[in-house]
Amino acid sequence: NWDSKSIIEDQVAKIREQVGDAQVICGLSGGVDSAVAAALVHKAIGDQLTCVFVDHGLLRKGEVEQVKHDFVAATGIKLIAVDASEEFLSALKGVSEPEKKRKIIGEKFIRTFEQAQRQVIEEAGAQGKEVKFLVQGTLYPDVVESGGGDGASNIKSHHNVGGLPDDLKFELIEPLRTLFKDEVRAIGTELGLPEEIVWRQPFPGPGLGIRIVGEITQERLDVLREADAIAREELTKAGLDRDIWQCPVVLLADVHSVGVQGDERTYGMPIVLRPVSSEDAMTADWSRVPYDVLAAISTRITNECRQINRVVLDCTSKPPATIEWE
């Protein structure tokens, strides 16, 4: 579409001018903003850009591959992927308190990202090149929310923790700074990014970590990942993706209830479906998903996830409840 084409052209020219022949780093989260920002910068300066993707082991089914394979295949971007899932899991061992989880995930993420950045800086240095810029997928609403100050949303994009150490401070490139989400999606489409990334619904930085109420373990992650994939599949099949703002799927890991599956009495965990409609996530209403879609999700989850014997629907608006359970 004409509009996104001209925005792309403008931004490409601007980025080239800003960057010159310096090297640039961009962190990818798996979400649409960082992906589109990276693709735009790549279009402008090609291999002067290196992307860093930290896999914290808390993404949903298929999302790591989407970044490592589909996104790279679509763009040709140079990517350093760090699989830190085991480290995250061991740092989170024994932790149930939501804010503590967030803090551990956020800090560990920053440290891991920092390490990868140092590697990029060293490699560039060995070739006599200098890394000067960091790409951020800041959108216009983020700018407004943070008071419009420059650099106010450093890494806020998904981890809500303080900035980077002084020797890793870069000049920022924020090519989406004047745009709204729908414009970012149009640009992503125009740039040929995979649909799953362009149309990905909001997903919190701490990922599935704050959708397991209770301690995070590998086994619980596996169960939740499967249940979430089923819910997403059925919502997509029903054509509801664009009506629903997001649908957290939550595992109540410390709750057990009695069920009967096959001929056996079970004592399993419940899964909560939390489909919501919203404009900006500040307020939300629970989505009136058709009963037959809920039924299909419930049947499949209880059939396919052995540890789940009950599926419940969260029919609370925000406020009083938040969208996420933690």
Position 200 contacts ligand XMP (CB under 6 A): no
Beta strands at 257-261 and 264-273: parallel, antiparallel or unpaired = antiparallel
Q: How far apart are CA 322 and CA 326, in angstroms?
A: 8
What is the pattern of x (binds ligand XMP, CB under 6 A) and - over residues 158-177? x-x-----------------
Position 275 contacts ligand XMP (CB under 6 A): no
Residue with Cβ nearer ligand XMP (31 or 268): 31
Position 204 contacts ligand XMP (CB under 6 A): yes
Beta strands at 249-252 and 212-213: parallel, antiparallel or unpaired = parallel
Task: For residue 258, give the DSSP letter.
Answer: E
Task: Match 């649909």 to its residue by tokens.
Answer: 195
Taking a C-beta distance cutoff of 8 angstroms, is the pair 57, 89 a contact?
yes
What is the pattern of x (binds ligand XMP, CB under 6 A) and - over residues 42-81? ----------------------------------------
CB of 210 to ligand XMP, least distance (A): 6
Residue with Cβ nearer ligand XMP (29 or 50): 29
Alpha helix (H) ranges present in the chain?
2-19, 32-45, 63-65, 72-75, 85-91, 98-126, 140-145, 156-159, 181-190, 195-198, 218-237, 291-304
273 SS3 class:
strand
Name which position in 246, 298, 302, 309 contacts ligand XMP (CB under 6 A). 246
Does the annotation flag 146 for ligand binding? no
CA atoms lying within 13 Å on the CB side of residue 118: 9
What is the pattern of x (binds ligand XMP, CB under 6 A) and - over residues 92-121? ----------x-------------------
Position 281 contacts ligand XMP (CB under 6 A): yes
CB of 48 to ligand XMP, least distance (A): 28
Name which position in 205, 209, 270, 275 contacts ligand XMP (CB under 6 A). 205
Q: How far apart are CA 127 and CA 223, in angstroms?
A: 46
CA atoms lying within 13 Å on the CB side of residue 236: 11
- Whether the link from the prior residue into 320 is cis, omega within 30° of 0, is yes
The two three-digit tokens of residue 287, written as one number = 């989505």
Stretch that binds ligand XMP, among 114-122, 130-138, 290-298, 317-325 (CB under 6 A): 317-325
Position 188 contacts ligand XMP (CB under 6 A): no
Q: Which residues are annotated as a binding site for ATP?
A: 29-35
Q: Which positions lie near ligand XMP, rule CB under 6 A?
A: 102, 158, 160, 202, 204-206, 246, 281, 318, 322-324
